[in-house]
Chain A
Amino acid sequence: MNAGRFGGGFLTGVVLAVALSGVFGGDGPDATTSTMPSTTVPEPSVEPWFLPGEALIGATVILPVGLEVEDGVAFFDYELAGLAPTLFGGDDDADTSVPVGDPLELPEMWELTTVAGDIVPATTGPQASSVRFELPSGDADVATISLVGWRIPVPFGDSVNLPVESGASGRLRGGTVTVSSVLEQSISTVVSIDLDHSDVLWPPEVALRSRDPRWRPAGRSGGLQLTWEGADAPDSIVIEDVGYELRPVSGSVVVYEAAVSR
């Protein structure tokens, strides 16, 4: 009988304790959280794609190599690694035109922030692997380095139907194409086409070609030469430009933090 009373009391005590903790302790977590200097809620971290300390920009990973500060100049060295698929369909051992594993995003605009809060901008070119910052003073300490702008080589394709006559012209994304000469022979027709992209703000890399493969292309500086074998050349040519523009992208990605790196 005593065991039964003890058990009933025990359960009552447990219930009371739980209930009282709910009444008096309900606000506890909020109150304590507000006084904590750092968050007490665990936040998930993302496992690195290559190495800890990397920074991810779209399909490209920036791998910090090192930071060197000397005489008021900071050099931040980095490597780039690409996550984009790079295998072409099927073939291609001999090709060297597309480096495998190349990064897609090309860093361009940087910002270094000193411990004192000064912001130092810098720029780099597409082939760079180091960025140079002129610090405001010789003893300035680096707090963070961020990438704030980069470029993506964006492919485009455009086409225009050009009459096969000297002087005919058309507008493509990569510039203006003009038929500069037509040489009609008994067994072939040779058409020379000029490309002018002087009015394009960011001149893209352009490859002109005919949509009809029977127009045989030949290399020509500043344009395209097409040859039609036979006496039955069409009256017009569909010219395509397939190229790319280095499109700017703005953002802000911290690639170096002194507090973490030390």
Chain B
Amino acid sequence: MSEFDYEELLRSPMDETGRDSTPSWWPAVAGIVAGIVAGVVLMTAIGGDESTPATSTGPTATSSTVGVVAVAPDYPEGYVELAPGVAARPEEIIVDDNLVTVVFTSVVARGADAAATSWPRGGSWLLDTSSGVTLQSSRVVFGAHGPGVFTVQFPAANIGPTEFDEARLLERWDTEQFTGATSMPFVGEPFESPELISIAVSQDITLLLPALRLGRFSGAAEWQISGAAFGGTVNVIPVLLDGDDEEVGSYAAFRQVREPSHEGVLDLNWQRDFPDDQEGAVTVRLEYAVDVIELVTTDVEVPLAGIPVDR
């Protein structure tokens, strides 16, 4: 067997110069080898997070400890923002003979003070059904016993076994609040305001109190709002003062979520325990808060798929 002359085969014309005894192919081969090594290192680095756990059989590689990304959504799952800082989620759809009621719960945004955030006041809703019929809301009902829960009523005669696709909030009722106080002489109970009380709470809006009655244990204030296109709600707190402007006592209305109106009556209760009465009072300071409805156009869609339906 003859010995194959590799040197001859690989000889380059450049070798004839004698300037370099190193074979000419060496740099390319060395480069390829180095490149492969670098490539392997590179791929290992890129894929390290995936490949490393594969070789581990220990208990440390769990989803709770490796690469967990903590997320902090603004609202719990399923809640859709209705107004800045307040979101709602449908909980149930109740179908009666002439009425479809959608039950919502609401929450404040993460980190917000729930006790310092007002309830959503209501709005105008549409209810889309799978049969193509769209129902329009007639009323939004709030309850003093369920914080943040409200129901939206949709009149519907014999809606049938249709499904409900989504509820759309077209118009939200925000409120602008006006507060202040006015005073009048108090001549003892039973007290009745001698004339219509008219209070300009803003340039356009006037609070009228056609009647104010203050008795030993209770009282009432009839109210009207003029100049507010969509009405509002009113609260009045009569505070009795003595001759030195020191407080003798006050009346307060039972707090409830009131639906907007242009008129109403507040039933008042004396806030001091028996036998403390109105003795010594010479002035009524009438503290008021008027929340006027402002309509805000919205385009909020709340999906209803999967929401329980009680027929």
Binding site for B on A (CB under 8 A): 1-18, 21, 25, 28-29, 32-33, 35-36, 38-47, 49, 56, 58-59, 82-92, 94-95, 97-98, 100-105, 152-157, 173, 205, 213, 216-217, 242-244, 247, 249
Contacts beyond the supplied A100-B115, A153-B149: 12 A-B pairs with Cβ under 8 Å: A9-B28, A13-B33, A14-B36, A40-B54, A45-B70, A59-B148, A89-B175, A89-B233, A94-B271, A104-B148, A205-B145, A249-B92
Which of B36, B143, B271 contacts A242 (CB under 8 A)? B143
Contact A83 B235 (CB under 8 A): no
Smallest CB–CB gap between B260 and chain A, Å? 10
Question: B164 contacts which chain A residues (CB < 8 A)?
Answer: none
Q: Is the CB of B105 within 8 A of A216?
A: no
* Interchain CB contact (< 8 A) of A17 among B39, B61, B105, B179: B39
- When the two chains form their complex, are residues B143 and A155 in contact, meaning their CB atoms are under 8 A apart? yes
Residues on B with beta carbons closer than 8 Å to the beta carbon of A105: 105
Give the complex CA separation of A213 and B261 in angstroms: 11
Q: Evaluate contact between A5 and B37: CB separation under 8 angstroms.
A: no
* Given known A-B contacts A155-B149, A213-B264, A10 and B38 have beta carbons under 8 A apart: yes
Contact with A along B138-164 (1 / 0, CB 8 A): 010111111111110100000000000
| Cross-chain pairs A/B with CB under 8 angstroms, 15 sampled | A9-B29, A13-B37, A17-B42, A41-B63, A59-B107, A82-B114, A85-B118, A89-B119, A104-B147, A154-B103, A154-B146, A156-B151, A213-B263, A213-B265, A242-B141
Taking a contact as CB atoms closer than 8 A, the residue among A28, A41, A56, A101 that contacts B51 in the complex is: A28
Closest A-B pairs by Cβ, 10 of them: A13-B35, A17-B39, A9-B31, A155-B143, A84-B148, A32-B54, A95-B255, A42-B67, A153-B146, A5-B27
Closest partner residue, chain A, to B140 (CB atom): A157
Closest to B76 in A: A56
* B side interface size, CB within 8 A: 93
Query: Which A residues touch B271, using CB under 8 A?
Result: 94
Contact A13 B38 (CB under 8 A): yes
A25 vs B144: C-alpha distance when bound (angstroms): 63
Residues in A whose Cβ lies below 8 Å from that of B216: none
Interface residues of B in 215-240 (CB under 8 A from A): 220, 222, 233, 235, 237
In the complex, whether B283 has a CB less than 8 A from a CB of chain A is no
Cβ B237 vs Cβ A91 within 8 A: yes
User: 1/0 per residue B77-107: CB within 8 Å of A?
Assistant: 0000000001001011000100001010111
In the complex, which of the residues A5, A58, A59 has the most CB atoms of chain B within 10 Å of its own CB atom?
A: A59
